[in-house]
Amino acid sequence: MKTFTYRTATDVAHGLEPGATFLAGGTNLVDLMKLGVATPDVLVDVTRLGLDEVADLPGGGLRIGAGVRNSDLAADSRVRRDWPVLSQALLAGASGQLRNMATTAGNLLQRTRCRYFMDATMPCNKHEPGSGCPAREGDHRNLAILGASEACVATHPSDMAVALAALDAVVQISGPAGERTVPVTELHRLPGDTPERDTVLEHGELITAVDLPPLGFAARSAYRKVRDRASYAFAVGSVAAAIQVDAGAVTDVRLAFGAVAHKPWRAYTAEEALRGRPATRESFLDAADAELTAARPLRDNAFKVALTRNLVVSVLEGLS
């Protein structure tokens, strides 16, 4: 591991030191440092900034502090009652020990589990721009089917982010140039020619909170995750959904897919296809297909198309 300096930030402004890398729970960053994939010079610990509360927002909704631990957020009674999809997504991730350490911002900003990315001795455009993407011809069973590029086919591995994308959550950011907000759906980028950049965050920008807007029908919402063993494994496919049905017709719906793209994939096309349609299996299948026509699977991950399609149907049928 490379030598680094370590500091604890005590207020937000003070934390924004140029060139610093933020350390939250450390469950992803420290692993990557041990693997030699992340080599920060300065680590600024942001867990003492007091960003660890879940507060009610004036018009309904919640402000989730960047430092709230995944376990605490999953257990929050308001989340469990009004946005069960988020609680379920959190609890489907990692293990109890990891969730006790992992934070809201750290979870959003965790990096891909692409096996080449996580091995510093491998070529990889994401950790060494221009070195190539061996995953495209090599191991990509769990990589992207949507929105990938020649340069990178990585997926974003978070479960929580899929639920937040479905729920129209908004990221609160504080940076050298002031404060701004970005919807979770626009936080992560598609890889394009610059896969080394995961998100639209500029260097030195700190996430301070994630706002969860009120969404009445999210009380009927669910997260379904499929993985290679019963627990403690990243998703090979997942769906977050909330649906409102009135007199047998879909009046509103939120849908997002996990493990299919470089970002949590908000299925806008499917949502559009569903609004106003009867809440039937056929509609759900048509909607899934409308979204998945854009899929460009690789040699070993075509199963994700069928898997995601089935998950959409299964989750929506379960909710309606």
* Interface residues toward ligand FAD, by CB under 6 A: 21-29, 31, 46, 66, 93-94, 98, 101-103, 105-107, 109-110, 157-160, 206-207, 234
> Among 154, 184, 259, 270, which residue interacts with ligand SF4 (rule: CB under 6 A)?
154
- Cα angle 196-22-19, degrees, rounded to a multiple of 5: 70
Task: Pinpoint the alpha helices (H) of 137-179.
Answer: 160-166
Residue 6 CA to residue 118 CA, distance in Å, equals 23
Q: Which does 125 bind (CB under 5 to 8 A by kind): another protein, ligand FAD, ligand SF4, none?
A: ligand SF4
Based on the shown chain and the rule CB under 6 A, indicate whether residue 234 belongs to the binding site for ligand SF4.
no
Size of the site for another protein (CB under 8 A): 35
Residues 62-121 that bind another protein (CB under 8 A): 113, 115-116, 118-121
**By CB neighbour count within 10 A (0-12 exposed, 13-18 middle, 19+ buried), where does 299 fall?**
exposed
Indicate the residue among 96 and 248 with the shorter CB distance to another protein: 96
Kind of pairing, strands 42-45 and 170-175?
unpaired
- What binding mask, one character per residue, do residues 117-136 give for ligand SF4 by CB under 6 A, x or -? x------xxx------xxx-
Helices (H) and strands (E) in the chain, counts: 12, 12
Closest listed residue to residue 161, CA positions, set 183, 191, 140, 180 = 183
Based on the shown chain and the rule CB under 8 A, indicate whether residue 233 belongs to the binding site for another protein.
yes
> Among 28, 70, 104, 112, which residue interacts with ligand SF4 (rule: CB under 6 A)?
112
Strand residue runs (E) in the chain: 5-8, 20-23, 42-45, 54-56, 62-65, 170-175, 178-183, 206-212, 221-226, 237-246, 249-258, 265-266
For 26, phi and psi rounded to 5 degrees? 80, 0
Indicate the residue among 150 and 317 with the shorter CB distance to ligand SF4: 150
Based on the shown chain and the rule CB under 6 A, indicate whether residue 192 belongs to the binding site for ligand SF4.
no
In the complex, least distance from residue 190 CB atom to ligand SF4, rounded to whole angstroms: 12
What Å distances lie between residue 150 and 147, 233, 262, CA to CA? 10, 27, 13
Q: Which residues bind ligand SF4 (CB under 6 A)?
A: 112, 114, 116-117, 124-126, 133-135, 143, 152-154, 195
Q: Which residues bind another protein (CB under 8 A)?
A: 1-3, 36, 113, 115-116, 118-122, 134, 137-139, 141, 226, 228-233, 236-237, 300-301, 303, 306-307, 310-311, 313-314
